[in-house]
Amino acid sequence: MISARVDRLRDTVPLVQCLTNTVVTQFTANVLLSAGASPAMVDTPEEAADFARVASGVLVNLGTPTAAGYTAMREAVRGAGEAGTPWVLDPVACGGAAARTSFAGDIVRHRPAAVRGNPSEIRALAGLVTRETGPSAGGRGVDSTDEVESASVAAAAVSAATGAVVAVSGPRDLIVNTRPDGTTRTTRLTSGDPLMQRVVGTGCSLGALTAAYLGAELSGATGSTGFTGSAGPDLHAAVVAAHAHAGAAGTAAAREASAPGSFAVAWIDRLYSLSAADIAGSVSLDE
């Protein structure tokens, strides 16, 4: 499942439009290039919709929002929806600030292909889409204060409400997709290294990498629901593959780097150099 999707990503070189935060723009572009995708940091309101229509995938990251940025994100999501381009929502600090929390609750209703966040962000988003209130619906935002497993119900709720594959990041990633019949497909993936938490941009760039894998998965396909069988596209498996690629590179980078600066360089190098078989073989999956 994983190795074939790594090969597909590198063969198709998906074009990923990134509307992301200013702190990680260059880092994210380098991650996409190293992994085998093509980045396009097109985030102006005047161009966002047009570019989303021709991109393979789109990332919407709420890390450093501005008024113009919000407009561009809405335009990109509109263009993606019109063209059937898969888009990924990374609701950075959702639950931690009123304006971005409100925006996240609005834009997630426009059917992202995937949502990626930490436990607090996913719990906050679940509160918005299910109209819950109170402590269980909130979160600190960037700092993950909840264990990944505690967000499993919230992840399933977000998936059921939006149709998205929902990835909760942590020491053991949780990837959830609630099927139309109400059953839930869940994958737990163990990989990576704690040093990834010491490098700004590893999580945000994972959102971009997820958009790349979704774009590769849907390359030449139509009408995917993520559950079309082995012969058709599988969005859940694509999200798993993105997390496996990032995690395997983190595990490999930690063997040669013991501090954040050198680790960041090594991680990008390993995103580029690890074979599909190496990536598939270095992660532990529980499905």
Q: What range defines the domain where residue 214 resides?
A: 2-286
Q: What pLDDT is recorded for position 1?
A: 87
Q: What pLDDT is recorded for position 147?
A: 83
Residue positions in the annotated binding site for substrate? 41, 201
> CA-to-CA distance for 92 and 266, rounded, in angstroms?
25
Strands 15-19 vs 57-61: parallel, antiparallel or unpaired: parallel
Query: Edge-to-edge, what's the strand order for the sheet holding 87-90?
Result: 38-40, 15-19, 57-61, 87-90, 114-117, 165-168, 172-178, 184-190, 284-286
Token code pair at residue 257: 């780097």
The answer for residues whose C-beta is within 8 angstroms of residue 258's C-beta and 6 or more apart is: none
> CA-to-CA distance for 147 and 132, rounded, in angstroms?
20
Residue positions in the annotated binding site? 41, 116, 169, 201
Q: Mind listing the pLDDT tens digit for each residue in 231-252?
A: 579 999 999 999 999 999 999 9
Count how many domains the chain has. 1
The region, left, alpha or beta by phi > 0 then psi within -120 to 50, assigned to residue 167 is: beta
Q: What pLDDT is recorded for position 131?
A: 76
CATH code, domain with 33? 3.40.1190.20
Q: Are 248 and 274 in contact (CB under 8 A)?
A: yes
| Residue 244: count of CB within 10 angstroms of its CB | 28
Q: Are 167 and 186 in contact (CB under 8 A)?
A: no
- Those residues of the chain that have pLDDT short of 70 are 132-146, 220-231
| Residue 174: count of CB within 10 angstroms of its CB | 25
Report the run of H or E that residue 14 belongs to, with start and end. Answer: none
Q: What pLDDT is recorded for position 135?
A: 38
Residue positions in the annotated binding site for ATP? 116, 169
Q: What pLDDT is recorded for position 143?
A: 43
No. of helices (H) and no. of strands (E), the chain: 11, 9
